């Protein structure tokens, strides 16, 4: 009888330690950004439902993602065997054990009337989340992220696209005035990293912005001559601005590494990955790279602001897997899959650290 009791005690200790090991090495992600990585925060934030045809490829229902299926961040979560991130603002049955998503569509690094969930606001929401989690743990609640969890979590940032596009419109599509604003945009990203570090963050994963001049919406909305386009048909001024921002963001990441020597800060070159999709679209099985799958207007871009995807009069392509862009601005699940796989290769990361290595004991 005594041996059975000792065996039972031993097994209990083993499983407790095993569970603790899993808890201490399992991935935790916190994401900040805009529609590129918003997994459903837009609806509770602004009360606007994003239904079918959005979501019809993978989820078979509207999920408030600006895509026909999964986003890049969804594929990254799958690679870690992690559930898709619940939006921070989701009040009905969220699951925050693996982290939370603070990204809200249309967000910028700075607050504007139609974009109230700036990067600074998202970081403040994170602080609220962190404080509340620790309070609940102190009260005996389980399945909450503890102080150690916040320390070993990965903090992902993907923002800046809307700042650049908004500035381009105001500058009448001229680059110099926009480039002058880039330091102030970068300053907000720097402040976000500094504040997250102050509250325990040590691991950061920062995406640069994609080639904004290649997407159908921008090509359709602005009349242009062939001299305004580069060799693959993308708007030069948009991409000049994108590259200027990315150069500054890379330099900022280098600066932050030298400042926070005990932190890991990975800069991910999304621009090069996405530009290659447009430049070598046939290699990836895509057709008509500058045409939206879901929209209105037909050739060459299938985009019209008066009848965007899901609105009366829109049309949809027969095979979305052959399209890089879903609705004129946001990428298709097929494109997101390719981008995610290339991110995971580490070829486009500085330093070249694998995503899962952040949780290898």
Q: Is the pLDDT of residue 22 over 80?
A: no
Distance CA 19, CA 26 (A): 10
Share of the chain above pLDDT 70, in %: 92
- Domain membership flag for residue 185: yes
User: Binning pLDDT at 50, 70 and 90, where does residue 141 land?
Assistant: confident
Q: Please name every residue paired with 31 in a beta bridge, in sequence order, or none if there are none.
A: 101, 156
DSSP secondary structure, 273-294, as one string:
HHHHHHHTGGGGT---TTS-SE
Is residue 325 domain-resident? no
151 within some domain: yes
Catalytic choice (207, 238, 290, 330): 330
- pLDDT tens digits, one per residue of 232-287: 999 999 999 999 999 999 999 999 999 999 999 999 999 999 999 999 999 999 99
In angstroms, rounded to a whole number, what is the distance separating the alpha carbons of residues 197 and 289?
A: 40
What average pLDDT score do residues 204-224 get? 95
Cis peptide before 360 (omega within 30 of 0): no
313 belongs to a structural domain: no
Bigger pLDDT: 64 vs 164? 164
Is the pLDDT reported for residue 204 higher than 50?
A: yes
The CA-based dihedral angle spanning residues 111, 220, 342, 119, taken in that order and rounded to the nearest 10 degrees: 0
Using left for φ > 0, alpha for ψ between -120 and 50, and beta otherwise, residue 71 falls in beta
> Residue 29: beta bridge partners?
99, 154
Catalytic pick among 37, 327, 332, 349: 327
As for how many domains the chain has, the answer is 1
- Mean pLDDT over residues 63-81, rounded? 96
Task: Identify whether 309 is part of a domain.
Answer: no
Catalytic residue among 35, 64, 86, 133: 35
CA nearest neighbour of 250 among 341, 167, 168, 186: 186
Q: How far apart are CA 101 and CA 39, in angstroms?
A: 7
- Provide the CA 170 distance to its chain's centre, in angstroms: 25
Please write the tens of the pLDDT for every residue from 83-95. 999 999 987 878 8
Residue 225 or residue 307, greater confidence: 307
Is 327 an active-site residue?
Answer: yes
DSSP string, 150-181: HHH-EEEEE--HHHHHHHHHHTTS-HHHHHHH
183 or 19: whose pLDDT is higher? Answer: 183
Domain presence at residue 293 = no
Give me the chain's average pLDDT, please: 91
Residue 361: per-residue pLDDT: 66
What pLDDT, on the 0 to 100 scale, is given for residue 93?
A: 76
Q: What is the CATH number of the domain that holds 258?
A: 3.40.50
Q: Which residue has the higher pLDDT, 44 or 347?
A: 347
* Residue 297 resides in a domain: no
Q: DSSP of 73-109, one letter per residue?
A: HHHHHHHTT-PPPPBTT--SS---TTEEE---TT--S
Contact 37, 156 (CB under 8 A): yes
* Pairing mode of beta strands 349-350, 264-268: antiparallel
Average pLDDT over residues 108-129: 90
- Structural domain including 156 reads 27-282+333-354
Q: Specify the pLDDT at position 24.
A: 55
Residue 88 lies in a domain: yes
Q: Which of 76, 74, 79 is nearest to 63 (CA)?
A: 74
SS3 246: helix
pLDDT value for 19? 40
Could you confirm whether 105 is annotated as catalytic? Answer: no
**pLDDT tens by residue, 333-349:** 999 999 999 999 999 99
Token pair of 321 as six digits? 């897997």
> Rounded distance, CA 307 to CA 289, Å?
20
pLDDT attached to residue 10: 42
pLDDT band of 111, cuts 50, 70, 90:
confident
Residue with tokens 């490829």: 57
Task: With cut-offs at 50, 70 and 90, classify the pLDDT of residue 49.
Answer: confident
Return the pLDDT at 143: 83
Catalytic residue flag (residue 118) = no
């Amino acid at each position: 009888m005594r041996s059975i009791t000792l065996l039972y005690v031993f097994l209990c200790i083993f499983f407790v330690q095993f569970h603790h090991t899993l808890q201490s090495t399992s991935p935790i992600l916190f994401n900040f950004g805009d529609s590129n990585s918003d997994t459903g925060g837009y609806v509770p934030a602004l009360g606007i439902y994003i239904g079918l045809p959005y979501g019809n490829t993978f989820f078979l229902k509207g999920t408030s993602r600006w895509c026909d299926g999964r986003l890049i961040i969804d594929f990254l979560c799958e690679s870690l065997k992690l559930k898709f991130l619940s939006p921070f603002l989701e009040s009905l049955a969220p699951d925050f054990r693996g982290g939370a998503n603070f990204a809200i569509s249309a967000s910028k690094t700075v607050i504007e009337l139609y974009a109230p969930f700036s990067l600074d606001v998202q970081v403040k929401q994170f602080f609220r989340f962190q404080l509340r989690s620790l309070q609940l743990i102190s009260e005996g609640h389980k399945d909450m992220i503890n102080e150690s969890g916040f320390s070993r979590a990965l903090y992902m940032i993907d923002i800046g696209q809307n700042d650049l596009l908004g500035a381009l419109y105001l500058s009448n599509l001229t680059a110099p005035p926009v480039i002058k604003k880039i330091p102030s945009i970068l300053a907000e990203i720097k402040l976000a990293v500094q504040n997250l570090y102050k509250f325990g963050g040590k691991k950061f994963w920062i995406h640069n912005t994609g080639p904004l001049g290649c997407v159908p919406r921008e090509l359709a909305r602005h009349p242009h001559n062939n001299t305004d386009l580069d060799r693959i048909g993308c708007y030069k001024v948009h991409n000049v601005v994108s590259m200027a921002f990315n150069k500054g963001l890379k330099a900022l990441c280098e600066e932050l590494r030298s400042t926070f020597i005990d932190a890991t800060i990975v800069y991910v070159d999304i621009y090069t990955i996405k530009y290659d999709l447009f430049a070598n679209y046939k290699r990836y099985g895509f057709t008509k790279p500058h045409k939206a799958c879901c929209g209105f207007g037909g050739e060459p871009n299938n985009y019209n602001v008066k009848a965007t995807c899901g609105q009366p009069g829109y049309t949809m392509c027969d095979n979305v897997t052959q399209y890089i862009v879903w609705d004129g601005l946001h990428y298709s699940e097929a494109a997101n899959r390719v981008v995610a796989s290339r991110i995971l290769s580490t070829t486009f990361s500085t330093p070249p650290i694998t995503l899962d290595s952040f949780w290898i004991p």
